[in-house]
Structure 1
Amino acid sequence: MRTTDLYLRGLGAFVPDAVPAASAVAEGLCPPEAPGRLDMTGAAVAGALSAPEMALRASREALARASMDPAELSLVLYADTWHQGPEGWFPQSHLQHHLGTGDALALEIRQGCNALFAGLELAAAHLAVRPAPGGALVVSSDNFGTPHMNRWTSNSSFMGDGACALVLAPGHGAVEVLSVNSMVVPELEETHRFGAPAFPPEATTDHGVVDFAAREAAFTRHLEETGAGTDLWMDVHKKMLKVVSRTMAEAGVTRADLARAAFTSLGPEDLEHRWLAVLDLPLSASTWDYGRRVGHIGAGDPFLGLRHLMDNKEVGPGDHVILGGLGSGVTVSCAVVRVLDPDDQG
């Protein structure tokens, strides 16, 4: 999707302090070999601070940076990958209430770790037909410190808490969004549910601590036994090649134009063998040095990585950054942005 006149006017973040993996090992929460195997040193931990409250803080910062009145928003999209609060209650309404967004259309996006990319596509289409002025708020937030999750063992990477908020609008901004795309290999949707009953939903049962890593490993063994695994994961690689090629072509950039890259924080093996291999980029071009310290923060990783690059002056005016994500589904997403002026957030 080639986007036109779409700017990231405000980029907000709330990432709590990271707890060292060594502390989790000492407490018996994390296997001693895990930090070295994953090349991760810790995870951001929010304690009892809820995900919607973190989202509210990140949103307020994004709106302040954008110098935008919340009442100017016509769209609010809330992305999450884990449970947000009481059953029957919607976190996007919490933002509407406390931000004062008026009658903005507010929706929750359940698209796993690539939900912010989906939010970008939806916001781009919405703003293209919505009379200016106005903007869209796209937020992601998660707190994994719940009884059914062990952030140190439940996934193939340490799970960090935090929130990321994007204020998108036409006209001007710190970053121009040039293109965004997603593709899917739905035959791999069993990856996160293999062996688990579809009903009743797990959230309604006392199922204990979820282990996505074990499910993925079991599903992989199943695919190997049936002979389908190689073909399906090759399909993922092909989709990555296609989505990267399409996104870069739409953005009008080549590999030589890319200053940096930011991806979902799934670990150096995933980065090097997937995204970086496709792009022919070194690990140092990514934001892994940041991600390995705060963990995999749901759908926010690539955009929190972009914020990290901007805050630390690692990118400047004219630099192109490619963002990529691999999520449940299995979905593959990619965006190319151009930094215009990191200080023009307003």
Structure 2
Amino acid sequence: MTFPVVGMVGGGQLARMTHEAGIPLGIRFKLLSDTPQDSAALVAGDVVIGDYRDLDTLRDFARGCDVVTFDHEHVPTEHLRALEADGVPVRPGPDALVHAQDKGVMRARLDALGIPCPRHRIVADPADVVAFAAEGGGFPVVLKTVRGGYDGKGVWVVRNAEQAAEPFRAGVPVLAEEKVEFVRELAANVVRSPHGQAVAYPVVESIQVDGVCDTVIAPAPGLSDQSSAGAQELALRIAAELDVVGHLAVELFETRDGRTLVNELAMRPHNSGHWTMDGAVTSQFANHVRAVLDLPLGDPRPRAPWTVMCNVLGGDYPDMYSGYLHCMARDPQLKIHMYGKDVKPGRKVGHVNTYGADLADVRERARHAADYLRGTITQ
């Protein structure tokens, strides 16, 4: 029996964990990675080293793949259209993925669909930023590069005209947005298949530190059933309207006046869904594999009342393995997921998941393990 080959563009931890999810199904993975040291390249059996920005490299890579998918959104849109013209199934397709690649395109499309977003406008120069700020009552405002930003990169909170000059130095289009006074950040994760089947995971609270996801709580504490269902329905609607195939993460602001605004879209497995590896019947990675192959999707329901994910960031303590003894002995239910990366300060090198019936206990266990592995606590 011949099992399909899934081509994964990108060699990061998302590719590594997607590959892991395909192993029980006998799915073969082919990886296009920047370097042999990338997280997924260390564990995948069929690895091509090359530049995803080169069309010939992409075409050579796609030969022999039954479907091509991604662990990032940076492949040029025109290259993906060329692959489709060659007859290669690309999932999500370029017409969908462009909404995660280009923040200006995303905002325009969501506006057309009547989906609530922060006030925004493409701005041409610092003077245009000043005018945009004045329209909303003044600074601060948020400036974002239209393409290429992630994990806080390509994002500036500017408080005056002088600070507004920095984003334009790169010579790329800039999007201005109001600085939303939000209560907290939420994320609605859904998965959709080519034939239109879709599933929604519980809405989670995502806690950011310095622009990087630190902690995810599933489900979001204190979120009403009505608000949770509304966020799930919103994410499912976006997935259908944009014809997304695979995993879609909709990052949301919950505002002080009770509104829910769309902040960002990601069309790939997402940090806010890592909790599903141990906390859901079917993980985001397993369902992404199923979706791109047009297999029936798995049950997204949680296994426990609460699951908490904490990212493990690099610090000044590189020997994380020695911390396993303490963390595993202290909490036999703890799940550790490391990415095979060199430890560098502030770099995501892994995450931990904990689960149970008492939220305070689950949070403490996850926080303790992440901090101990990083070396910020010693007992």
Asked if these proteins are the same fold (TM beyond 0.5), I'd say no
Structure with the bigger percentage of helix: 1
Structure with the bigger percentage of strand: 2
Higher relative contact order (CA 8 A, sep 6+): 1
TM-score relative to the length of structure 1: 0.28
TM-score relative to the length of structure 2: 0.26
